Amino acid sequence: MLAALEAGGNPSSVHVAGRKARAAVEDARETVAMFAGAGPGDVIFTSGGTEALALALGGAVAGATEAGGRITRLLVSAIEHPAVLANAEAVARRTGSVGLEIQPVTADGVLDLEELGRSLREGNGRALVAVMAANNETGVIQPGEQVAALTREAGALLLVDAVQAAGKTDLKPLAAAADYLALSAHKLGGPSGVGALIARDGAPLAPQVLGGGQEKRRRAGTENLSGITGFGAAAAAAAAALNAEVPRLAALRDRFEQGMMALLPDLVIFGAAAPRLANTSLFAWAPMKAETAVMALDLEGVMVSSGAACSSGKVARSHVLQAMGVPGDLAASALRVSFGWNSGEAEVEAALAAFDKLARRARARAA
């Protein structure tokens, strides 16, 4: 990234600096494509995962209409990231002719394949199905290949949000099965503000950001040269570390959860019975409310996130836990812990010690 910043140059310019910038962008494109198991021509760089998802949803509907194969239905799982849910709602509202159908999940947070199959069989019109590779709150891995088989059988299109799963599982089977797949560099340890949409050759896609011919006229705007090169470097590093990093993170997560269960025998770990990403744990202990715990743990040097969504100073119930049927009082205590490349056993032990202190205080107040 530093080399790209120092070199400068607009990748669309034909002078020496421009050509060097173009070469750096294309090198990164090839690396990201190999990381995801796609072709370089399928990779469209964006400002992040949110824009990639918005481009896929809006671009697929508009592109299919232009091609004469109109999409009339958006089938979206109930646990999708707000970037999918909000953009799907916007597309349905803007077009007036596309229906939005929310698909249910099981109590473990796994997409209900039987219900999805029924929706695809019984609904009228061509559908675009949006299913994440793994949930960003629970870490639960979704049955992507089964979803792909159902969508193919129904003649539908498939959008996979792989932002959370990238670097933590092999994306190649999903990329081969999906029509659209979204990525974000910062989830790989790369820079914020850059992502990519991988659009299968032939999948309908109309540009949503206009004004220039960049990205083969699929996304206008001067390329974020330093961000894109950082994305490429992060993708290469993540690919090289995948086989060793996943079991290492799984061991840390399991040690943490075992320690938490020893401290709090009535702890609830969400999605524990389903396949999960190695680095994610979402749990709740009813006597310890999330907003209080986040602040108290931060004072102990332990950074966690709440399973609830905050808006305008008010804590709302997590839509993911709501879709899983989790009672409101338990959902209000949900906390998420994530492990990364810089996490080790010392961090796990420090976190357990901080939770032990918090639990002791909670029990003392209740006594």
Tens-digit pLDDT string for the chain (367 aa): 999 999 889 999 999 999 999 999 999 999 999 999 999 999 999 999 999 999 999 999 999 999 889 999 999 999 999 999 999 999 999 999 999 999 999 999 999 999 999 999 999 999 999 999 999 999 999 999 999 999 999 999 999 999 999 999 999 999 999 999 999 999 999 999 999 999 999 999 999 999 999 999 999 999 999 999 999 999 999 999 999 999 999 999 999 999 999 999 999 999 999 999 999 999 999 998 999 999 999 999 999 998 644 443 455 679 999 999 999 999 999 999 999 989 999 999 999 999 999 999 888 888 7
Angle at 42 between CA 216 and CA 3, to 5 degrees: 75
Split into its structural domains, the chain has a count of 2
For residue 285, give the nearest of 264, 271, 257, 259 by alpha carbon.
264
Task: Say what the pLDDT of residue 68 is.
Answer: 86
Domain boundary among 174, 209, 237: 237
Evaluate whether 283 touches 270 at the Cβ level (below 8 Å).
yes
Task: Say what the pLDDT of residue 311 is.
Answer: 42
**183 and 102 in one domain?**
yes
Selecting among 5, 107, 303, 310, the annotated active-site residue is 310
The amino acid that residue 13 corresponds to is S
The amino acid that residue 170 corresponds to is D
**249 and 131 in one domain?**
no
Helix (H, G, I), strand (E, B), or coil: what is residue 153? helix
Q: Would you tell me the crossing angle of helices 113-122 and 144-154 to the nearest 10 degrees?
A: 10
Tell me the β-bridge partners of 197. 44, 182
What is the separation, in whole angstroms, between the first and last Cα of the chain?
55
Tokens of 334: 């949900």
**120 and 24 in one domain?**
yes
Helices assigned H by DSSP within 68-143:
82-95, 113-122
- Residue recorded with tokens 């949409």: 197
Domain boundary among 237, 272, 301: 237
Task: Say what the pLDDT of residue 307 is.
Answer: 61
**275 and 196 in one domain?**
no
Q: How far apart are CA 320 and CA 325, in angstroms?
A: 9
183 backbone dihedrals φ, ψ, rounded to 5°: -135, 160
For residue 316, give the nearest of 292, 332, 334 by alpha carbon.
332
Tokens of 78: 């109930």
**187 and 69 in one domain?**
yes
**207 and 182 in one domain?**
yes
**251 and 156 in one domain?**
no
**282 and 203 in one domain?**
no
pTM of the model: 0.95
Q: Catalytic annotation on 176? A: no
**247 and 232 in one domain?**
no
From the CB of residue 86, how many other CB atoms can be counted at a distance below 10 Å?
Answer: 15
* Mode of pairing for the β-strands spanning 180-184 and 195-199: antiparallel
**263 and 230 in one domain?**
no
Domain boundary among 180, 207, 237: 237
**287 and 197 in one domain?**
no
- CATH code of the domain in which 289 resides: 3.90.1150.10
Task: Say what the pLDDT of residue 175 is.
Answer: 92
Q: How many residues does the chain have?
A: 367
Tokens of 129: 């199905």
Evaluate whether 138 touches 109 at the Cβ level (below 8 Å).
yes
For residue 234, give the nearest of 223, 220, 245 by alpha carbon.
245
Domain range for 26 is: 2-237
**218 and 347 in one domain?**
no
- CATH code of the domain in which 232 resides: 3.40.640.10
